[in-house]
Amino acid sequence: MAKIKSAYFCQSCGYESAKWLGKCPSCNQWNTFVEEVIEKPSAANAAVWKTTVGGTQRVNKPSKLEEIQSVTEDRLLTGDAELDRVLGGGLVPGSVTLIGGEPGIGKSTLMLQLALNIKQKRVLYVSGEESEQQIKMRAERITKTPQANCFILTETSTQNIFKQLEQLEPEILIVDSIQTLHSAHIESTPGSVSQVRECTAELLRFAKETATPVFLIGHITKDGAIAGPKILEHMVDTVLQFEGDRHHIYRILRSIKNRFGAAAELGIYAMHGNGLREVSNPSEVLLSQRDEELSGITIGATIEGARPMLIETQALVSISAYGTPQRSATGFDTKRMNMLLAVLEKRCGFRLSAKDVFLNIAGGIKVEDPAIDLSIIAAIISSHEDISVSSKICFAAEVGLSGEIRAVNRIEQRILEAEKLGFEKIFISSYNLKGINKDKFKIELITVAKIEEVFSALFG
């Protein structure tokens, strides 16, 4: 009998060690090593997916770059405008895309919707999580007229999946989820580091050799990283993150890595009773329709991916009932909020250290664009002073540590979006004026260089 080979794997980062370790030398996590039985596939059973072409083993030779023929990528449009944009303009043949997200966020719904709606393509949806009946029920909720070439397979063994793939020859493959698959070449349990790595490698080989686009759904760990080894993200071509607050209807599909397009691209969906709907005009839905002006609410012009969006920022400043004031932010980095509060305290003399401060970005959206700073500062002061800011004013500037108002990128796009939505004034940094034609805009540009100027312009 062949000797069973095993190794210890860090379940957090995938580091491999011959013996058990308390602390992972790679990611410094404690107690994450688990023994997994691995068996290196011998030459005899390595034929997982055909690695030979025309019966002979293919040997790659070095070629001169200038002699390599460039091919115009034929992108396949999925029929979902948001997904196409996030992918950088459609699906690339042979690409492997990993979609991560919290449980219940809508990963399976998004992929099933793609399978049901893409026209005239044979799609195979492999599920290791749900039964055929469950998928059928979900499909009936999503669409009444599914496309005729959508196939469902409930299977978790990669060898069996490959057998079906050879027969069916699908044009798109969807796997829900990579953590439920197992390969017979590896003995450890599904979802373990070595299984996930092996199954991904097998699917990757299939994708590259048949030029079939493959989608993999991946679970995430409790701190938001895609479960399984970090190398999973290195192996695939594109990593998308599906996120949002489960209590809100909006979902954001973000590209974290993309070999075929810009990363940090973003798609917005709304989850309805009959599946996910694309949101093509995010600003209009993210701004709440309010009649009266309330203190603590301002609007920031942000850019997520390539798209300008106007987003409502809300702040609540109140006297702290306890010795330690509470600080909490939803959709915004708490450290950055603390920095902005310190700037206000030090540069403008606002006594915020004894106050509770709560921040919220409306719609359950997470914003990382620093151009939202000025809007947040204005919301905090508006709430602190209990004076409302007109809903016809918006903001787009970064705030520096010494209270200076800094320029932000793509200011023209932000101004145009604000103008389009009927705003009357936009606060921008004086340093942003260079190179833009001020007369082109109908909206009034208010330029500020220091934080004090913002307050005198707003509250007099």
Q: How far is the CB of 130 from Mg ion (least distance, A)?
A: 7
Q: Read off the DSSP letter of residue 221.
A: -
Rounded least distance, CB 36 to Mg ion, Å: 25
Closest by CA position to 240, among listed 90, 85, 364, 97: 97
According to CB under 6 A, which residues from 123 to 152 bind ligand TYD?
138, 141-142
Comparing CB distances to ligand TYD, the nearer of 220 and 344 is 220
**101 near ligand TYD (CB under 6 A):** yes
Stretch that binds Mg ion, among 86-94, 106-114, 255-263, 294-302 (CB under 5 A): 106-114
Binding to ligand TYD in span 254-273, by CB under 6 A: 271, 273
Query: Nearest distance from residue 139's CB to ligand TYD, in Å?
Result: 9
Q: Of 22, 55, 62, 103, which lies in the binding site for ligand TYD, with binding defined by CB under 6 A?
A: 103
CB of 101 to ligand TYD, least distance (A): 5
CA dihedral 74, 79, 81, 82 (to 10 degrees): -100
Residue 397 binds which entry of Mg ion, ligand TYD, none, CB below 5-8 Å type-dependent: none
Burial grade of 437 (CB within 10 A; 0-12, 13-18, 19 or more): exposed
Q: How far is the C-alpha of 149 from the C-alpha of 124, rounded, in Å?
A: 9
Q: How many binding residues for Mg ion (CB under 5 A)?
A: 1
Q: Which listed residue (14, 106, 128, 300) binds ligand TYD by CB under 6 A? A: 106
127 binds Mg ion (CB under 5 A): no
Q: Which residues neighbour 191 within 8 Å (Cβ) at sequence distance 6 or greater?
A: 179, 180, 219, 227, 228
Q: Using the rule CB under 5 A, is 108 a contact of Mg ion?
A: yes
Bridge partner residues of 195 (DSSP): none
**Does residue 274 touch ligand TYD according to CB under 6 A?**
yes
The residue at minimum Cβ distance from Mg ion is 108
Question: Nearer Cβ to Mg ion, position 108 or 238?
Answer: 108
The arrangement of strands across the sheet holding 150-154 comes to 150-154, 123-127, 172-176, 214-218, 96-101, 238-243, 250-258, 266-272, 275-278
Helix, strand, coil % in the chain, rounded to nearest 5? 30, 30, 45
When asked if residue 363 is in the footprint of ligand TYD (CB under 6 A), the reply is no
User: Segment contacting Mg ion (CB under 5 A): 86-94, 108-116, 397-405, 415-423?
Assistant: 108-116
The least CB distance from residue 141 to ligand TYD, in Å, is: 5
Is residue 215 classed as helix, strand or coil in its secondary structure? strand
CB of 271 to ligand TYD, least distance (A): 5
Determine the Cα–Cα distance for residues 108 and 215; give it in Å rounded to an integer: 11
Pattern 222-261, Mg ion, x by CB under 5 A: ----------------------------------------
Alpha-helical (H) ranges within 236-313 are 282-286
Alpha carbons 337 and 347: distance in angstroms, whole number:
15
Judged by beta carbon, residue 108 or residue 295, the one nearer ligand TYD is 108
Q: How many residues lie near ligand TYD (CB under 6 A)?
A: 15
Total count of residues recorded for the chain: 460
Residue in this structure with the two tokens 């990382």, named with its chain if needed: 368
Instruction: Please report which helix (H) or strand (E) contains residue 395, including its range.
Output: strand 393-396
Report the candidate in 261, 265, 259 with the shortest Cα–Cα distance to residue 88. Answer: 261
275 binds, among ligand TYD, Mg ion, none (CB under 5 to 8 A by kind): ligand TYD
Give the x-and-dash track for 198-237 against ligand TYD (CB under 6 A). Answer: ----------------------------------------
112/266 with CB nearer Mg ion: 112
- Cross-strand pairs, 265: none
Binder of residue 251, out of Mg ion, ligand TYD, none (CB less than 5 to 8 A by kind)? none
Do the beta carbons of residue 256 and residue 239 sit within 8 Å? yes
Contacts with Mg ion by CB under 5 A lie at 108
> Which residues are at the interface with ligand TYD (CB under 6 A)?
101, 103-109, 138, 141-142, 271, 273-275
